[in-house]
Every structure is written in structure tokens, then in C-alpha cells.
Amino acid sequence: MIICFPNSAIEADFNERARLERRYGRLIAERVGSRMQVLLAAEHLALVPTTPPIVLRIDPQAAQFSVALVKSNRLRFRATEGCTYNDGQIDLETVKKVEVLGVYEG
């Protein structure tokens, strides 16, 4: 999967481990790194696990997704292109490029 970012500040945070640790702490930074590796390794979003510890969640109205980091934080991202719907549900096999929005509670 291709991963991009909405702006250079978020991209810098997620591409520099020290910045990510300063902003979110060591544990979340480690989890972000492992979740980003899962996303990079997947050909499309249907290959990202929906079971623990990854727990992919889908918001079809916003075409946004998230994966678990720690109990109260998730890595949120959205489809940027190629996202198609079948019967109101996102066809995850068509999502091959995502934009990381950041770390959120929820």
C-alpha cells in the first residue's frame, strides 16, 4: 500500500522516530511504527487484520479507517484514491493508497 500525509509537518512527525516519541511517547511511537509497517506490507486494505492487536475499523461515510495503538489511541487514515463502494460498503480491495491523518483518541 502507498502511504502519504496531508502536510509536511505530519509527514515529518511520522518519518522521524525522535519527533514521534516527543509528541506521543515511546509506546505509541513504537506502535505507530509497527502499524505503518503492516500498512506498507499490505497490497490493499482488505489484507489489514480486523482482529487484535491491529483491529482495523472502518467509517464508510467518511471513507476513514483506523488501527489500534494503545487502549485509548488509534492511528487514523483515509483512502485517497481508488476507493469504491459495493452496497454502501467500501470495497477494501480497492484501497491501495491512504493518507495518514494522525493519532486520535477513540
Out of 3.40.50.300, 3.10.100.10, 3.40.33.10, 3.30.2310.20, the CATH code matching 2-105 is 3.30.2310.20
86 band by pLDDT with thresholds 50, 70 and 90: confident
pTM of the model: 0.92
- At residue 78, the pLDDT reads 95
- At residue 61, the pLDDT reads 78
84 band by pLDDT with thresholds 50, 70 and 90: confident
The dihedral built from the CA positions of residue 14, 73, 1 and 84, taken in this order, carries a sign that is negative
pLDDT digits 0-9 by tens, 14-72 = 999 999 999 999 999 999 999 999 999 999 999 999 999 999 999 887 879 999 999 99
